[in-house]
Amino acid sequence: MEEILNKFPFKGAIESVVENTIGLINNTYVVTSEYEKYILQRINKDIFKNPEELMENINLTTNYLNDLGKKTLSLIKDKEGALYTTCQGEHWRAFKYIESKSFKKVENIKIVAESAKELANFHKHLISFPIHTLNNTIPDFHNTLVIFKKFQDICLNCPESLTNQSIQEINYILSKEEDCEIIYKLLVKNKLPLRVCHNDPKVSNFLFDHSLNAICLIDLDTLMPGTLLTDISDAIRTICVSETEDESDLKKLHFKCDYFEEFIKTYLDENKMNLNYYELNNIVKSIELIFLEQGIRFLTDYLNGNKYFKVSYRDQNLVRAKNQIYLSKEVVKNNNYLEEIVKQYAR
Ligand code: GN1
Ligand code: MG
């Protein structure tokens, strides 16, 4: 660790380095020096194959947001002026620490409104960003059909002892192949415009101040061109629910329609003008699909030996998959009611 710390121009003697375990992909540490605090991260190189391109995306967009006066992450280049540093084959980068609170679960409707506003503002500020300058760092990251095909493949080559425990979920997913194409087809037909997307706006990636006002979105690793529908639905996936994705007791789990109404009202209030007919009319469908997609990703990883998402016990990705598939079905059950809500605020 000493060698890595030495690569960055941190001010004063380092007093502590404490790991923060909330993310499922990278390794994150809070570094406290005599004068300041920093975030130091090891980039997961199995998932992010091209750190150069990823860091370029972050650098370009955070500079752009900064110029517009929008609060965002502040990168700290290494002592040689590089966007990240490599040490014993691992890639590391640093940010200024932002004094804030974050949540894994929403207990307060103010957080719903504040995150909806923050996401809308993020999209609004980046609406004229030269999108062609961004690298597509993980191709097909949110291509549900590609995710479905990979799942199908793994299912076929997996021992029955593993598939036994999720046979209902597997059959449900396999019956949904056509649905997995819906968003992709709209993108190919240019019905959905390509926009700068965060691609991972889960609730823990929003920072809040002490009065619970949103400060900014963090974790810009997956910032790439995509459809705003993915961001809107992915934020709703973790914000408008009663429990986190780790909850195993499905009786406690439900989609919170009151939070959904608050989220949609606030988001559309801020950014309706940038959404077209196809975006406005596919919000509810895209929520059903993002739960399904995340369920497929967790289940794929479980069947494949938990190589992608960090787990603290063997069946954790199975629990997460069941949780997300359950919520996808809840959205289907509430479909008409949710569509009515969108209609009301989309006018
Ligand atoms: C991962 O890194 P983290 O925890 O913010 C994942 C997201 C998933 C999320 C599920 C690069 O996000 O796509 O939705 O876990 N990030 C990547 O909790 O795959
Ligand atoms: Mg992430």
List the residue whose alpha carbon is closest to atom 5 of ligand 1: 23
The letter for the amino acid at 189 is K
Question: How much distance in Å is there from the Cα of 103 to the middle of ligand 1?
Answer: 15
pLDDT in tens, 207-248: 999 999 999 999 999 999 999 999 999 999 999 999 999 999
**Three-class DSSP category at 321:** helix
- Distance, in Å, from the CA atom of 245 to the CA atom of 165, rounded to the nearest integer, reads 18
- CA 319, 321, 326, 330 torsion: positive or negative? positive
Residue 24's pLDDT is 82
Mean pLDDT of 322-343: 98
Q: Measured between alpha carbons, how far is 207 from 258 in angstroms, rounded to an integer?
A: 22
Structure tokens at 158: 């997996």
C-beta 25 within 6 A of ligand 1? yes
DSSP state of 177: T
Mean pLDDT, all residues of the chain: 96
Decide if 7 contacts 78 (C-beta within 8 A): yes
Ligand 1 atom nearest residue 25's Cα: 2
Q: Which residues pair with 37 in a beta bridge?
A: 32
pLDDT at 151: 98
pLDDT at 190: 97
Q: pLDDT digit string (tens) for 289-326? A: 999 999 999 999 999 999 999 999 999 999 999 999 99
Mean pLDDT confidence for 51-58: 96
Nearest ligand (C-alpha, residue 48): 1
The predicted pLDDT at position 21 comes to: 85
- 40 C-alpha to ligand 2 centroid (Å): 15
Q: Verify whether ligand 1 is closer than 6 Å to residue 327 (CB atom).
A: no
* Per-residue confidence band for 133, with pLDDT thresholds at 50, 70 and 90: very high
* Pocket lining: 294 vs ligand 1, CB cutoff 6 Å: yes
Torsion from C-alpha of 117, 23, 97, 68, nearest 10 degrees? -40
Q: Which are the contacts of 303, defined by CB distance < 8 A and separation ≥ 6?
A: 154, 155, 158, 162, 163, 166
Ligand nearest the Cα of residue 138 is 1
DSSP, res 152: H
296 lines ligand 1 (CB under 6 A): no
Answer whether 54 contacts ligand 1 (Cβ < 6 A): no
| Element at 92 (helix H, strand E) | strand 90-96
Q: Is the CB of 200 under 6 A from ligand 1?
A: yes
Q: How many CB atoms lie within 10 A of CB 81?
A: 7
Q: Would you say the pTM of this structure is higher than 0.85?
A: yes
- Over range 14-37, report the average pLDDT: 92
**For residue 94, what are the CA distances in angstroms to 4, 5, 19, 30?**
10, 10, 14, 10
Residue 63 has pLDDT above 90, yes or no: yes
Query: pLDDT over 90 for what percent of the chain?
Result: 95
Q: Is the dihedral of CA 213, 198, 219, 134 positive or negative?
A: negative
Whether ligand 1 lies within 6 angstroms of the CB of 235 is answered as no
pLDDT tens-digit profile of 156-211? Answer: 999 898 899 999 999 999 999 999 999 999 999 999 999 999 999 999 999 999 99
Quote the ligand 1 centre to 218 CA distance (angstroms): 12
Those residues whose C-beta lies under 8 Å from the C-beta of residue 58, and which sit 6 or more positions away, are 73, 75, 83, 220, 221, 223
In sequence order, what DSSP letters do the residues of 28-78 get, joined into one string?
EEEEEESS-EEEEEEE-TTT-S-HHHHHHHHHHHHHHHHHTT-----EE--
**From the CA of 234, which ligand is nearest?**
1
Distance 139 CA to ligand 2 centre (A): 15
Ligand 2 geometric centre to CA of 164 (Å): 30
Q: How far apart are CA 239 and CA 113, in angstroms?
A: 10
Q: Which atom of ligand 1 is nearest to the CA of 47?
A: 11
Q: Say if residue 2's pLDDT is above 90.
A: no
